[in-house]
Structure 1
Amino acid sequence: MPAPHHRPVRRPSHAFDNLVGSHDPAEETRVAHATASALLARVRADESGVSAERLVAFTSENGIDEIAELWSKAPSRTLPGALWQLYVLQLAIHGDPQTAALLYERGRIELSSADPVIAGAPVPASPDEIVALIDTILRGAFRGDFAVALDRAAAFCRVQASGATHTADDYEGTEPERASELTSRALRLSAYAQDLSAAAVLWRSGGLG
């Protein structure tokens, strides 16, 4: 938990909504790419892992504004865009781990792909274990193979999207508004999965700018 003197943490009212960014597109692009590349290089150079742990814990202590100002407007399939998506996923899961765990388990049951194995959650995964998983994926982006971290995040999104889609179907006849919210969530997660998978391919080829 943040110490009492920290300012309140900004959390989006829905998992992927109401996120802020800067206003100068040209400067934003330059700063986004420069800071993402410099930060990743610096953290990877810290063999102690302290820098990576600080970045994993960053949003809990500081909120989302500082990261949003740097990376939220970057194209999705760029280094800053991929880092931004990882942080949004982390914040969303930390914000509502119970729902995340329910959707993940439903998606795991419904999917016939290898995505649950790639994502790497326990079976079944508790809310705390889902939180630990997304933190591990983010940590892997800073300390391990960046493309592998992106692939795991993409697989995680696909499992969650499947769970949200099937749960939306359950609510369609009785709670259409809830069904609509879950369908929208599934679409956003699916889009994230596509972008993160594409970013992983670009990273491996040296093209993730």
Structure 2
Amino acid sequence: MKKTLLYLTCVLAVVFSACDNMSTKTEATHNEASEATADTAVAFENENSPDSAADGSIVDVDASGDADWNNVDMNLPNVDWPEFKGSDVEVRGNNRYSVYSVGEDVLFDTDKAEIRKGAEENLRKISSSIAQRHKDGQVRVYGYTDAQGSAGYNKDLAEKRAEAVKNWLQKNGNIAASRISVHPVGEAKPTASNETAKGRQQNRRVEIVVRNS
């Protein structure tokens, strides 16, 4: 009888221990799954957030919370505006947005963020066009680089250059500071291959995007 009770006691102890281990494992598994789900959500949010520094995408809302910027297509068709005939400015647009694109070699010296004197005529034409065609539309200045050098350096250079263009437009183009924002993209959104000198030159650019008011 004593042996039977001892045997039953051992069996129960083993069963309770197994249940406890299973509960512990289940809880740990649940926690891991929850953490994985949370991490996945964060990764998904970062991947899809247009404001993500990692992918350099367009910010989807402006300071007023307007989400229209999320629908900007930077690859709009070219437009032929007479004010830019013979200039170094390429203009693309539709009935909602206009994109003024200027090469880095036009605006800046290599690895510099100070606007060249020779570039000011192009910026004057852009600011005059904005005043004529867009009135009070919001203005965003995007800075792009090629992929040479580190991503961090390129992002920093893109920001300094975009900031320099913003300051010029504000000071000399009579565009209110409240209308202009800076969006450094760096190397994240190439328009051409970084494997060739010609492609890298195309990637080094500043694009001024204006929303029709």
Q: Shared topology, TM-score over 0.5?
A: no
> Whose Rg is larger?
2
**Greater per-residue strand proportion:** 2
**Greater per-residue helix proportion:** 1
TM-score of the aligned structures, taking structure 2 as reference length = 0.30
